[in-house]
């Protein structure tokens, strides 16, 4: 078996600690969540992200705080090919930053680097440095499967015909042959595509040396629970030991802002999806730690109580991707620092405003910027630190908070990327104030409500905890 990535690091760890085989080694292995030499993602995990590879420590600090409060939340540094391309960075930079943060904070729990939203065309440059792969097959959804493939799928899955009862929920489903065939027609090509990508990674890294996730979130229509169940059956047929799956949920999951949709409806839907996963794990022998992954999961404050209640009710896990929110905390930190930091934050806004059409285009399905609500750059130039941070900081319900301003800046990281050292030098100069914002945002507003079941800490307009 090839020992790459975490596997290699793990064995050197064991030597450093002076642990041989025996109970201590076993405990260590189970703490690292390694099963029969297979990497295994723990119950609770959080996708954290770092556009400019400067906040790894501040983000990890939020997981340290969770652990100090008795809850293990595993950090997964994720960065998509799209982000790397826009910024001009390489996947190895994410690995290096994560490794350095882990060493600096003496983090002894597992951690991973996620090749986020990769396809057959883009996976190659992630093969060396990543040990988590989010295989994106959204583009293949709806490409019609062949009649032969549909027929053999339906023949293989008589359990999905007629009455399907999931455990732990009152609802049941009545599935007709027609429904099953149509759903197979819509998703089989995408699942086969996922199989191709999975096998390419497996050939390069060896089975069990990476965590596979399958994402279907970047598409126009949410998947129903029954569709999710049928997709999972197809994934099992395809032989993919999937550990996390990211469906598209109903409602809008816009980047960096709160959930837009029916909050009361979200909880029962989530419960059905979780019970579909339990069913699929048992019926199709998928990995027992398989769980939902919530993409664009940062800042969805209104549904965090529902997520927490559901994982508790079903004793289920969840992976929450929050990558983009951290870059906005960098801007908040710079603005809070005043002086050159505030000036640079304003300059970034004014360039983002000028280039808004180009910046928003790649994210059209995941942002809702209302042009009329964007303050003119001239006005922003006159803002104090307090005005800038309270417009940007995500505290809904305050008069100053402006979700259009926030979303434009969310996709505006390209502007900072173009500034290069002019931006990075200021990050380094203002590390303390930025780190404080990054950690507080992740811990108080995300990890706390989702994993620990604590109400988010609301900050008043002076920036202090209320
Ligand atoms: Zn996604």
What is the DSSP secondary-structure string of 297-335?
-TT-GGGHHHHHHHHHHHT--EEEE-TTHHHHHHHHHHH
Please give the average per-residue pLDDT across 260-277, as a whole number: 96
Please give the average per-residue pLDDT across 59-78, as a whole number: 97
pLDDT band at 10 (very low <50, low <70, confident <90, very high): very low
CA of 248 to the centre of ligand 1 (A): 9
CA of 246 to the centre of ligand 1 (A): 7
165 by DSSP, 3-state: which? strand
Query: If we measure between CA atoms, which residue out of 68, 71, 64, 69 comes closest to residue 44?
Result: 71
CA of 365 to the centre of ligand 1 (A): 11
**What is the distance between the terminal CA atoms of the chain, rounded to a whole angstrom?**
54
Residue 456 has pLDDT above 90, yes or no: no
CA of 430 to the centre of ligand 1 (A): 30
Q: Give the separation between CA 81 and CA 89, rounded to whole angstroms.
A: 9
Please give the average per-residue pLDDT across 129-158, as a whole number: 96
Q: Give the separation between CA 100 and CA 48, rounded to whole angstroms.
A: 15
Residue 399 has pLDDT above 80, yes or no: yes
Residue 12 has pLDDT above 50, yes or no: no
pLDDT 10s digits, 213-226:
999 988 889 999 99
Q: Give the separation between CA 84 and CA 413, rounded to whole angstroms.
A: 11
Please give the average per-residue pLDDT across 176-199, as a whole number: 97
Residue 177 has pLDDT above 70, yes or no: yes
Residue 362 half-sphere exposure toward CB, CA atoms < 13 A: 14
CA of 22 to the centre of ligand 1 (A): 41
CA of 155 to the centre of ligand 1 (A): 32
Which residues are paired to 269 by β-bridges? none
**pTM for this model (two decimals):** 0.90
Q: Which residue has the tokens 């027992």?
A: 288
CA of 217 to the centre of ligand 1 (A): 6
CA of 338 to the centre of ligand 1 (A): 34
409 by DSSP, 3-state: which? helix
Query: If we measure between CA atoms, which residue out of 114, 435, 169 comes closest to residue 293?
Result: 114
Q: Please, which residues have CB within 8 angstroms of residue 10's CB and are 6 or more apart in sequence?
A: 32, 34
Token pair listed for 12: 């050197």
Please give the pLDDT value at position 50.
83
CA of 439 to the centre of ligand 1 (A): 22
pLDDT band at 459 (very low <50, low <70, confident <90, very high): very low
CA of 164 to the centre of ligand 1 (A): 29
CA of 117 to the centre of ligand 1 (A): 7
CA of 216 to the centre of ligand 1 (A): 8
pLDDT band at 455 (very low <50, low <70, confident <90, very high): confident
Please give the pLDDT value at position 31.
46
Q: Give the separation between CA 99 and CA 323, rounded to whole angstroms.
A: 17
Q: Tell me the backbone φ, ψ of residue 234, rounded to 5 degrees.
A: -65, -35
Please give the average per-residue pLDDT across 287-291, as a whole number: 97
pLDDT 10s digits, 76-126:
999 999 889 988 899 999 999 999 999 999 999 999 999 999 999 999 999
291 by DSSP, 3-state: which? strand
Q: Give the separation between CA 302 and CA 288, rounded to whole angstroms.
A: 29
Please give the average per-residue pLDDT across 185-206, as a whole number: 97
User: Measured between alpha carbons, how far is residue 359 from residues 90, 347, 355 in Å?
Assistant: 21, 15, 6
Say if residues 211 and 133 touch (Cβ distance below 8 Å). yes
Query: If we measure between CA atoms, which residue out of 54, 85, 45, 63 comes closest to residue 293?
Result: 45
Please give the average per-residue pLDDT across 393-405, as a whole number: 91
Please give the pLDDT value at position 425.
98
Q: Tell me the backbone φ, ψ of residue 39, rounded to 5 degrees.
A: -65, 135
CA of 105 to the centre of ligand 1 (A): 28
pLDDT 10s digits, 297-332:
999 999 999 999 999 999 999 999 998 899 999 999
Mean pLDDT of the chain, nearest integer = 90
Q: Out of 12-26, 173-187, 245-259, pick the least confident.
A: 12-26
Quote the strand ranges of 313-409, DSSP E: 318-321
Please give the pLDDT value at position 33.
55
Please give the pLDDT value at position 8.
33
CA of 215 to the centre of ligand 1 (A): 7
pLDDT band at 75 (very low <50, low <70, confident <90, very high): very high
CA of 134 to the centre of ligand 1 (A): 8
């Amino acid at each position: 078996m090839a020992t790459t990535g975490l596997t290699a690091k793990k064995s050197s760890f064991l030597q450093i600690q002076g642990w041989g085989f025996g109970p201590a080694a076993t405990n260590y292995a189970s703490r690292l969540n390694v099963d029969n030499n297979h990497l295994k993602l723990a119950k609770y995990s959080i996708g954290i992200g770092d556009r400019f590879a400067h906040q790894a420590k501040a983000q990890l600090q939020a997981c340290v705080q969770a652990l100090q409060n008795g809850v293990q939340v595993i950090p997964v540094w994720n960065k998509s090919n799209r982000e790397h391309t826009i910024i001009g960075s390489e996947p190895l930079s994410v690995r290096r930053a994560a490794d350095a943060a882990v060493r600096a904070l003496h983090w002894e729990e597992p951690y991973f680097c996620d090749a986020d939203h990769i396809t057959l065309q883009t996976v190659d440059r992630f093969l060396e440095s990543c040990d988590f792969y989010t295989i994106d097959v959204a583009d293949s959804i709806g490409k019609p499967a062949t009649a032969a493939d549909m027929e053999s799928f339906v023949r293989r899955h008589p359990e999905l015909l007629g009455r399907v009862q999931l455990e732990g929920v009152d609802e049941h489903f009545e599935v007709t042959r027609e429904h099953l065939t149509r759903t197979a027609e819509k998703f089989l090509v995408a699942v086969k595509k996922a199989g191709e990508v999975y096998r390419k990674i497996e050939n390069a890294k060896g089975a069990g040396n990476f965590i596979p996730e399958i994402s279907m979130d970047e598409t126009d229509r949410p998947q129903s629970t029954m569709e999710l169940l049928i997709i999972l059956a197809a994934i099992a047929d395809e032989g993919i030991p999937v550990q996390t799956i990211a469906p598209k949920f109903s409602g809008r999951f816009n980047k960096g802002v709160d959930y837009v949709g029916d909050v009361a409806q979200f909880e029962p839907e989530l419960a059905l999806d979780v019970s579909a996963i339990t069913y699929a794990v048992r019926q199709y022998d998928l990995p027992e730690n398989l769980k939902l992954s919530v993409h664009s999961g940062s800042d969805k404050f209104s549904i965090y109580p529902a997520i927490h209640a559901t994982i508790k009710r079903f004793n289920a896990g969840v992976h929450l991707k929050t990558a983009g929110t951290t870059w906005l905390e960098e801007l908040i930190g710079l603005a809070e620092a005043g002086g050159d930091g505030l000036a640079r934050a304003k300059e970034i806004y004014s360039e983002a405003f000028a280039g808004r059409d180009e910046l928003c285009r790649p994210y059209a399905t995941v942002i809702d910027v209302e042009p009329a609500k964007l303050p003119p750059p001239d006005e922003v130039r006159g803002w104090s630190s307090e005005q800038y941070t309270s417009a940007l900081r995500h505290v809904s319900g305050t008069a100053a908070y402006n979700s259009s301003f926030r979303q434009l800046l969310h996709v505006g990281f390209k502007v900072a990327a173009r500034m290069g050292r002019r931006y990075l030098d200021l990050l380094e100069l203002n590390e303390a104030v930025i780190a404080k914002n990054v950690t507080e945002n992740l811990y108080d507003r995300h990890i706390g409500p989702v994993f620990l079941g604590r109400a988010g800490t609301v900050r008043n307009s002076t920036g202090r905890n209320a």
